[in-house]
């Protein structure tokens, strides 16, 4: 028979139960059934700091003392009955949360992403791989020679949607590739906001894309999902300060944000990359706008957007993934998708890659649940996300890491 290993616990003890001598030095403290760790300095704890059945009878000004011990599982009941022990608390092993700041290093391939999402199990169990679904990629352009582009809009009439003349270093191609990981049979709409003529990439190109996408959606119900891997790297990119009526970053009345709400209310699903201004290794363009509360701007962090942060395939947080709260809503990002994998490029990077991975997952879910709307999708993704602490939201991972298979199971 294999004996269970002793476990490490924190024992909360009642100092009144100890003799005066022991209480003074704690050196001779002993508790039957527990092996106390002499290297752990006893820590006084105000009774107000805890609430447990064992503490119910104690008055507010009484304190306890916490010590560390190892105990055999069979001695736990004896310890619980001891008049010295107020409570027994778990003392599990802990480890630092790893942070990935090496975007050039791939942590797996596209098939690994599909497996991590649970997309492969969804395909197997439903037989559905995104047929008939359309994902809009709002980006620098998607090459129709490489991807199934069936519509979209371009600000450059000489390079219509699907043109091979893509901007932003084939970033849009990367987004299309990553969106098709979960929904490989879906088609693409190319909203080529990077194909500007005579002007740099401005928010108005995204606004115009939203407008065109909504008109298209009203005509034929596509695109089902709109993927946005763009944003502002710093607040000062907005020519208007946060308190100004014309501001975008902090103003839910800006037309871009209002148009997004029109898309959602019409029935489209919309995801946004959180941004690349996380505190551990922010993009240089973020300058001083990094970390919690200073890295998710405008519609990217609207309450109703699905805001996507990034982890690698080892499920380590990526140190540049923007951290909440966002300028428009506290609990952002909503969840994380995968980045730093070999996809379109040797390593697809950024929250830019994580976002279309989630957008493709949304397309798959929408095909399996045809009435699925934004708020229900966001709730399902958040409530089923893989997390280290159930029910908790944190500023880096949001509700956790996307689990597409579980989200499908949570939907009616």
Binding site for other proteins (CB under 8 A): 103, 139-140, 155-157, 168-169, 171, 174, 193-194, 197, 199-208, 211, 229-233, 237-240, 244-249, 251, 253-256, 258-259, 262, 273, 275-276, 283-285, 320, 349-353, 355
Of 65 and 270, CB closest to other proteins: 270
Q: State in angstroms the smallest separation of the CB of 387 from other proteins.
A: 24
The least CB distance from residue 194 to other proteins, in Å, is 7
Q: Least distance in Å: CB of 28 to other proteins?
A: 58
Full DSSP string of 273-293: E--S--SSS--GGGTT--STT
Contact yes or no for 194/170 (Cβ under 8 A) = no
Our CB check for other proteins shows the closer of 84 and 351 to be 351
Q: What tokens were used for 221?
A: 């119900």
| C-beta closer to other proteins: residue 163 or 387 | 163
Q: 329 burial class (0-12, 13-18, 19+ CB within 10 angstroms)?
A: middle
Both tokens of 320, joined, read: 């540049």
Residue of 354, 352, 362, 363 whose CA lies nearest to 140:
352
304: exposed, middle or buried (Cβ count in 10 Å: 0-12, 13-18, 19+): middle
Maximal C-alpha separation, the chain? 90
Nearest to 91 by CA among 32, 12, 28: 12
Q: What are phi and psi of 119, to 5 degrees?
A: -65, -40
Residue closer to other proteins by CB (options 170, 394) is 170
| Least distance CB 238 / other proteins (angstroms) | 4
CB closer to other proteins, 15 vs 255: 255
- Measured from the CB atom, is 314 or 388 closer to other proteins? 314
Distances (CA, A) of 104 to 275, 341, 348: 18, 9, 8
DSSP per-residue string spanning 62-126:
-EEEEEEEEE-GGGHHHHHH-SSEEEEEE-----PPPEE--TTS---BHHHHHHHHTHHHHHHHH
CB-nearer residue toward other proteins: 31 or 256: 256
Q: Minimum distance between the CB of residue 394 and other proteins, rounded to whole angstroms?
A: 20
Complex with other proteins: residue 64 or 257, whichever CB lies closer: 257
Beta carbon of residue 119, minimum distance to other proteins (angstroms, whole number): 23
Smallest distance, Å, CB 181 to other proteins? 17
Shortest separation between residue 32's beta carbon and other proteins, angstroms: 57
- Measured distance CA(38)–CA(251) in Å, rounded: 57
**Residue pair 351/323 in contact by the 8 Å Cβ criterion:** no
Minimal distance in Å, beta carbon 353 to other proteins? 7
Instruction: Report the C-alpha gap between 350 and 274 in whole angstroms.
Output: 10
Strand segments, DSSP code E, in 312-380 are 317-318, 335-338
d(CA 136, CA 272): 12
Closest contact distance (angstroms) between CB of 6 and other proteins is 46
Retrieve residue 327's tokens.
């300028």
Kindly state the smallest distance separating residue 11's Cβ from other proteins, in Å: 47
**In terms of CB distance, is 194 or 360 closer to other proteins?**
194
| Burial zone of 348 (CB within 10 Å; 0-12 exposed, 13-18 middle, 19+ buried) | buried
| Nearest CB to other proteins, comparing residues 266 and 392 | 266
Instruction: Between 139 and 403, name the residue whose CB sits nearer to other proteins.
Output: 139
């Amino acid at each position: 028979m294999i004996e269970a290993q002793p476990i490490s616990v924190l024992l909360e003890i009642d100092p009144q139960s100890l003799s005066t001598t022991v209480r003074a030095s704690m050196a001779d403290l002993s508790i039957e059934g527990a092996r106390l760790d002499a290297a752990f300095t006893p820590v006084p704890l105000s009774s107000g700091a805890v609430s447990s059945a064992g503490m119910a009878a104690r008055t507010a000004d009484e304190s306890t003392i916490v010590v560390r011990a190892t105990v055999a599982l069979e001695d736990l009941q004896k310890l619980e009955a001891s008049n010295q022990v107020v409570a027994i608390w778990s003392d599990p092993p802990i480890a630092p949360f790893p942070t990935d700041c090496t975007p050039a290093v791939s942590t797996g391939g596209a098939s690994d992403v599909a497996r991590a999402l649970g997309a492969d199990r969804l395909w197997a169990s439903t037989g559905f791989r995104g047929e008939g679904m359309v994902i809009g990629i709002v980006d620098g352009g998607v090459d129709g020679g490489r991807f199934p582009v069936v519509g979209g809009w371009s600000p450059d009439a000489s390079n219509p949607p699907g043109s091979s003349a893509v901007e932003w270093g084939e970033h849009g191609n990367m987004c299309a590739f990553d969106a098709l990981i979960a929904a490989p049979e879906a088609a693409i709409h190319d909203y080529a906001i990077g194909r500007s003529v005579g002007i740099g990439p401005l928010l108005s190109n995204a606004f115009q894309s939203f407008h065109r996408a909504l008109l298209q959606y009203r005509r034929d119900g596509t695109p089902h999902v709109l993927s946005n891997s763009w944003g502002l790297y710093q607040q000062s990119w907005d020519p208007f300060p946060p308190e100004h009526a014309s501001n975008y970053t902090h103003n839910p009345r800006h037309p871009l944000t209002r148009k997004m709400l029109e898309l959602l209310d019409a029935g489209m699903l919309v995801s946004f990359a959180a941004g690349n201004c996380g505190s551990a290794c922010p993009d240089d363009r973020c300058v001083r706008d990094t970390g919690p509360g200073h890295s998710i701007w405008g519609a990217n962090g609207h309450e109703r957007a699905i805001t996507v942060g990034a982890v690698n395939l080892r499920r380590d947080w990526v140190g540049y993934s923007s951290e909440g709260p966002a300028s428009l809503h506290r609990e952002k990002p909503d969840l994380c998708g995968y980045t730093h994998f070999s996809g379109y490029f040797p390593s697809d990077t950024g929250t830019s890659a994580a976002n279309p991975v989630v957008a493709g997952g949304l397309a798959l879910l929408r095909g399996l649940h045809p009435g699925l709307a934004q708020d229900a999708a966001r709730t399902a993704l958040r409530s089923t996300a893989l997390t280290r602490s159930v029910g908790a939201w944190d500023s880096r991972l949001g509700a956790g890491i996307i689990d597409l298979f579980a989200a499908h199971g949570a939907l009616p």
